Amino acid sequence: MKAKNEVRIEFLSKSQNEAFARVAVAAFAAQMDPTLEEIADIKTAVSEAVTNAIIHGYEDSEGVVRINARLYDDKIVIEVIDNGKGIEDVELARQPLYTSKPELERSGMGFTVMETFMDEVEVTSSVGKGTCVRLTKRFKKANGEMGRG
């Protein structure tokens, strides 16, 4: 299936860029005429994925986080990619309350939040190479009345 629009964003793994990343993706998604709730869901999930890339992927060292976002007729697919340390056990990392960094007062709910707010969350990771989190959100409205874009 061919995407009808696409953006690619790259930024340094600085926590200041978390707000930029979620707002940028939400602004891109806005052309689908989503509901306010759908926009809030996308912002939240992107924030979680980008935060994970910065804290866990790069462990606060400097690296580049990439976001590829594609719009289709009825959905947005967002990939948040880092070239950081990777996740050894993806299943474990996705468990609610699991955190590899308890000393940071993290809740361990990042993936659970992504799974709740999005329709699909796929994680591919390779130790020493990096992680890609693919988030899919289907727009309710798009199924009934197609926008012109």
Return the active site residues. Answer: 48, 52, 106
Cβ-contact 67, 81 below 8 angstroms? yes
Q: Which is nearer to another protein, 1 or 104 (CB)?
A: 104
Q: Which is nearer to another protein, 32 or 55 (CB)?
A: 55
Is position 100 an interface residue for another protein (rule: CB under 8 A)?
A: no
We find the least distance from the C-beta atom of residue 21 to another protein, in angstroms, to be: 10
Would you give the DSSP letter of residue 102? Answer: G
Site for another protein in 17-76 (CB under 8 A): 18-19, 22, 37, 40-41, 43-44, 47-48, 51, 54-55
Is position 131 an interface residue for another protein (rule: CB under 8 A)?
A: no
Written as six digits, the tokens of 62 are 């400097």
Cβ-contact 138, 144 below 8 angstroms? no
86 Cβ neighbours under 8 A, 6+ residues apart: 57, 125, 126, 127, 128, 129, 130, 131
Is position 85 an interface residue for another protein (rule: CB under 8 A)?
A: no
Q: By CB neighbour count within 10 A (0-12 exposed, 13-18 middle, 19+ buried), where does 82 fall? A: buried
Measured between alpha carbons, how far is 108 from 91 in angstroms, rounded to an integer? Answer: 13
Q: Which is nearer to another protein, 15 or 126 (CB)?
A: 15
Contact residues for another protein, defined by CB under 8 A: 15-16, 18-19, 22, 37, 40-41, 43-44, 47-48, 51, 54-55, 96, 104-107, 109-110, 112-113, 116-117
